Amino acid sequence: QSALTQPASVSGSPGQSITISCTGTSSDVGGYNYVSWFQQHPGKAPKLMIYDVTNRPSGVSNRFSGSKSGNTASLTISGLQAEDEADYYCSSYTSSGPSYVFGAGTKVTVL
């Protein structure tokens, strides 16, 4: 049950688009369309932003979108805003267990 690989940090200016990658294996990201993305502000509980690779829960801005190619999933934030500054975690179902595994997290900074 190894953690998924995410970049430690990504930054962008207001209005720009950024993409966070999440790389796994054929046993998790590549094998199932069960990738979720979570946003976490300091001291707060995580918030679901994307689930099942591309689905956006009710109430989440359409500036957030998800995709997947092979063993790598991606979260794109378009029209970056100050409030988007947070930690972002991907997770995936894994056949190892079976269970779920998270990425180590990516800190998004709005310049």
Partner 1 sequence: EVQLVESGGGLVQPGGSLRLSCAASGFTFSNYWMSWVRQAPGKGLEWVANMKGDGSAKYYVDSVKGRFTISRDNAKNSVYLQMNSLRAEDTAVYYCARDLAATGSYDNWGQGTLVTVSS
Would you tell me which residues interact with partner 1 (CB under 8 A)?
1, 3, 34, 36, 38, 40, 45-48, 51-52, 55, 57, 87, 89, 91-93, 97-105
The tokens for 52 are 């099942």
Q: How far is the CB of 109 from partner 1 (least distance, A)?
A: 17
CB of 5 closer than 8 Å to CB of 23: yes
Nearest CB to partner 1, comparing residues 65 and 91: 91
Give 74's strand partners.
21, 67
Q: How far is the CB of 61 from partner 1 (least distance, A)?
A: 15
Nearest CB to partner 1, comparing residues 3 and 10: 3
Q: CA distances (Å), 28 to each of 42, 49, 68, 86, 97, in order?
A: 28, 19, 12, 25, 11
Q: How far is the CB of 71 from partner 1 (least distance, A)?
A: 17
Nearest CB to partner 1, comparing residues 14 and 73: 73
Torsion sign, CA atoms 21, 22, 25, 29: negative
